[in-house]
Amino acid sequence: MAAAPHNANPTGTYDVTHLRVEHYNGDVLGIGESQPRLSWIYTETPPEDAQLKVTVTRHVLGGETRTEETYLPTEPSVLVPWQFLPLTSMEEVRASVQLVTPNHEPLGAPSQTLRFETGILDFYDYWADFVGPSWAEPETDHRHLPLVRTEIDLSGKPARARLYMTACGVVEAEINGQRVGDDVLCPGWTVYDRRLECWTYDVTDQLIAGRNAMGFWLGDGWYRGRLGFDGGRANFYGDRIGVLAQLEIEYADGTRASVYSNSWDGTWKATSGPIVCSDLYEGEHYDARLEHPGWSQPGFDDSDWQPVAEVFYEPQHLECPELPPIRAHESNVPVSITRVDGTDMNDGTATWLIDFGQNCSQRMRVHMRGLNAGDTVTMRHAEVLEPDGTLATRTLRRGQQCDVYTSNGTDAWWEPRFTMHGFRYATIEGWRGELTADDIDCRVYHTDMERTGWFDSSNPLLNRLHDNALWSMRSNFLSIPTDCPQRDERLGWTGDIDLFAPTATYLYDTQGFLTNWLKDVRNEQKAWGTVPFYVPFVPLRVWAIPQAIAIWGDAAVAVPWALYMDGGDTRVLEKTYPLVTAWIDEVSGYLSDDGVWDREPQYCLGQLGDWLDPSAPPEDPALAMTEKTLVATAYFARSCAHATAIAHALGRAQDEARFAALTAKVTQGFLDRFTHLDGTMTSDTQCAYALAIAFGLLDDEPVRKVKAGNRLAELVRESGGRVSTGFAGTPFVLPALSMTGHDQEAYGLLMSTECPSWLYQVTMGATTTWERWDSMCPDGTLNPGGMTSFNHYALGSVCEWLHSRIGGLQAIEPGWSKFAVCPQPGGGLNHASTSHLTPYGMASSAWSVDDDVLALDVTVPVGTTAEIRIAGVEPETLGAGTHHREYTL
């Protein structure tokens, strides 16, 4: 058993990498923190007497540039408090860090310079107004969308120019005919009546001395577009859209100029543009004949445009974004393009079917060529095909994701602006001539988070399962965490992210994204008196009045906890503490005297329990085998335990004691009501045993725990490899089997390809995680249920077990300062590996089995320790570095 030497530092230099500010990934404009924390990663353990030199160069708009330095101990290196005077609005910082000796001699290269800048920090620094169309628009949706423009004179070429922009609606800007930024669907979805994100763009290079023009495309977006199912709700936040644009300029001589959108100086004008209508779910209609060539360039004749009207929005609700924007990532190249039989028209057009090989949130950019003015090209999108090879659009319900382009006779590349589609297949109708891959660029969209988690194994099906979960996450992390990206829903269902959060936080850096969303969970909790089913909340039919329901409401505690375990940031806990405590206090009022949550929520669906239990009929997904009160009580016991740990981390001793007592009471109620002395339970289901074991509810009853584990293993064996759990039980069956020594049963269930199972989906060609175990039936037909999606991340929560048990990485301390390496070979795998970019650097575990010898390679980042915990192997603590171990099995 040979250990590779660690910290050998052959080059003798101690470098610092990955300098970042707060939870932003790399350079960032427009942050809202005046005292932002910095983090960095050491490539080698610094010498004991080393110091860290922090250099910041700061520049306030129109002010002087100052460089400041300070020296710090080398630890901590994560979320280190701001060491200088607080930043003010619109202040630019260039920061770098370097390891130095006590005499301040360099020990290694300085980090790359990180550039960040505050946005508008005080509401009274917003001088711009929201402006939009001044004509009477129809009250329904599908409104003809406006363009807004203005021209400005600049006394010189700006040395620095920033556009601060947001909208009631969605917006894209152009300056002098050129697109501003590379994000889409700005400003994203928040609870607009409480807060709205204002985004910052560097437009220095786009402005020139003299005359300049600015133009804005405006769309309905989430603000006044139709949201949700069963007909949905339009105009939910308001029925008038408008853009806020504030341009702040600094010239080389330090003088400043500002431009503010407004309705009173007569220079801001609007007219209707080529987007005839656009709906996030239904698609976009564009008529190129209605374009205004040159409209965002200076000198354009806008004499027939109308003055804009002001749209009122409280400036106090404007905020700097904590999350990254939505951006295009890679393009999916078609794997097949076929002319659809029988679609040839007399006018020479035909319909083509394209398979992009990957289901996800994406949009096609199409080369509209060879069309005559007035020719129409229709693009439809679907996740799967019906058995007859046609697009399966029934499951999209109202969200038909259909774009229509009408040509003006000129060739052009076109992509819709204010809609998003979830699909793998598309048809293009009305196409002239051959359609080739060169005519289409299909771009993948999601919030631009940093990838932090990887998994690989010797089983290609398992790897595909992992990829599918990753794709479902990417597809649904679009401004908020949604349930699905395709049908008329796309809502921030709280239960789905409750279950998926541990997987999500491993795969991507979600700190900013989820903290941002949690702000709205709190806003809605205050507004509606409980945690609504989905956030932002929109009253829809049966779901019109939020009710406290388990799992969905428990997201108020589970998501902050998952963020904390991954990122170790107590500030996230502080920010979310009111949400956590209000949920615990609310539900504790619903408990029976014995601590069981058996009060029925006041709406027809009641607790959703083990939602989508595979034995439930297609039209009644809540009809599960496991008692709903059992599920609700188990989840609440877990929330109470998490709340106790959160109160502890924040030093709130009184709350900690209160929550600990509540945990004990609810746990006891659970044991008394739902478990028997022989280890069996009132619901003899996999879900029931899994929750009892995985939530630690049997930890004080070791004998019962062993028996419950045995019964769970027996049920799993009896099920013949078919999954028997829905949303609630699924994430915890495999962990509960592992915790009670039944890894081989866990592998048996995971590796099964029977329907329903995780790998069944994969063998059916899934490229994302399905909503239902059998969204597609074995004969290739679609599940008849009206609620059938092929892109829900919830059941992908199994990946947590892939990471923590197959790959074997598990955080012990919040933020991974201490973690376990506990892989369990099995399932016929001969190798597996996983890695995670922790706040301290990359942690990894890779193993292979050959002739009864288990070889293990571990990477431990500087600043952390790892504990090897493998059954039958002497535990060992590892320090920073790379380590190789071999064990005879």
CA angle 413, 417, 423 (to 5 degrees): 85
26, with CB counted inside 10 A (0-12, 13-18, 19+), is middle
Contacts with 794 (C-beta within 8 Å, 6 or more apart), sequence order: 483, 495, 496, 499, 500, 727, 730, 769, 771
74-77 contact pairs (CB < 8 A, 24+): 74/42, 74/46, 74/50, 74/99, 75/863, 77/39, 77/40, 77/41, 77/42, 77/52, 77/840, 77/863
The answer to whether 403 contacts ligand BGC (rule: CB under 6 A) is no
Name the β-bridge partners of 403: 379
Select the residue interacting with ligand BGC from 214, 318, 787, 798 (CB under 6 A). 787
Binding span for ligand BGC by CB under 6 A among 81-89, 218-226, 483-491, 677-685: 483-491
Query: Does the protein bind ligand BGC through residue 471 (CB under 6 A)?
Result: no
Closer CB to ligand BGC, residue 242 or residue 495? 495
Minimum distance from residue 690 beta carbon to ligand BGC (Å)? 19
Distance between alpha carbon 438 and the CA centroid of its chain, in Å? 31
Tokens of 224: 């006044």
Token pair for 423: 């699909």
H-type alpha helices, 401-535: 460-476, 494-507, 511-528
CB of 793 to ligand BGC, least distance (A): 9
Displacement of CA 452 from its chain's centroid (Å)? 13
Asked if residue 483 binds ligand BGC (CB under 6 A), the reply is: yes
| Nearest residue (CB) to ligand BGC, 251 versus 500 | 500
- Kindly state whether residue 795 participates in binding ligand BGC, applying the rule CB under 6 A: no
Of 82 and 603, CB closest to ligand BGC: 603
**Pick 114 or 787: Cβ nearer ligand BGC:** 787
**Integer Rg of the chain from CA:** 28
- Side-chain half-sphere exposure of 393, counting CA atoms within 13 A: 15
Residue with smaller CB distance to ligand BGC, 478 or 751: 478
When binding is defined by CB under 6 A, the residue of 285, 658, 707, 792 that contacts ligand BGC is 792
**Residues paired with residue 868 on neighbouring β-strands, in sequence order:** 821, 876
Nearer to ligand BGC, 171 or 384 (CB): 384
Give the DSSP letter string of 318-373.
EE--SSPPEEEEEEEPPSEEEEPTT---TTSEEEEEEEEEEEEEEEEEEEE-SPPT
- Strand 818-821 and strand 865-868: the pairing is parallel
Contact between 267 and 150 under an 8 Å Cβ cutoff? The reply is yes
Q: Which of 121, 245, 392, 484: binder of ligand BGC (CB under 6 A)?
A: 484
Which residues within the stretch 609-648 sit at the binding site for ligand BGC (CB under 6 A)? 611
Q: Which is nearer to ligand BGC, 295 or 552 (CB)?
A: 552
Q: Should residue 770 be labelled a site residue for ligand BGC when binding is judged by CB under 6 A?
A: no
CB of 809 to ligand BGC, least distance (A): 28
Q: Is 469 in the site for ligand BGC (CB under 6 A)?
A: no
- Pattern of binders to ligand BGC over 565-604, x per CB under 6 A? ----------------------------------------
* Number of residues this chain uses to bind ligand BGC (CB under 6 A): 11
57 in helix, strand or coil?
strand
Q: What gap in Å lies between CA 306 and CA 148, rounded to an integer?
A: 9
Q: Which stretch binds ligand BGC (CB under 6 A): 419-427, 436-444, 488-496, 826-834?
A: 488-496
The answer to whether the beta carbons of residues 545 and 603 sit under 8 Å apart is yes
- Write down the least CB distance from residue 42 to ligand BGC, Å: 42
Estimate to the nearest angstrom the gap between the alpha carbon of 832 and the chain centroid: 26
Please state the closest distance from residue 776 (CB atom) to ligand BGC, in A: 17
| Sole window of 360-368, 482-490, 515-523, 862-870 interacting with ligand BGC (rule: CB under 6 A) | 482-490
Indicate which single residue of 24, 40, 130, 493 sits in contact with ligand BGC (rule: CB under 6 A).
493
Q: Applying CB under 6 A, does 488 fall inside the site for ligand BGC?
A: no
Give the nearest distance from C-beta 518 to ligand BGC in angstroms: 17
Considering the rule CB under 6 A, would residue 489 count as an interface residue with ligand BGC?
Answer: yes
Angle between helices 653-674 and 628-649 (to 10 degrees): 160
The interface region with ligand BGC, picked from 380-388, 423-431, 493-501, 826-834 by CB under 6 A, is: 493-501
User: Minimum distance from CB of 397 to ligand BGC (Å)?
Assistant: 10
Q: Which is nearer to ligand BGC, 425 or 493 (CB)?
A: 493
DSSP alpha helix (H) spans, 650-783: 653-674, 686-694, 702-718, 730-739, 743-751, 758-763
How far, in Å, CA of 670 to CA of 667, rounded?
Answer: 5
Q: Which residues are identified as catalytic?
A: 489, 771
Name the one range near ligand BGC by CB under 6 A: 219-227, 285-293, 686-694, 787-795.
787-795
Residue closer to ligand BGC (CB basis): 749 or 794: 794
Cα 503 vs. chain centroid, distance in angstroms? 11
Q: Hey, which residues between 721 and 740 contact ligand BGC (CB under 6 A)? A: none
The DSSP code for 212 is: E
Distance from chain centroid for Cα 135: 37
Q: Which residues are near ligand BGC by CB under 6 A?
A: 483-484, 489, 493, 495-496, 608, 611, 787, 792, 794
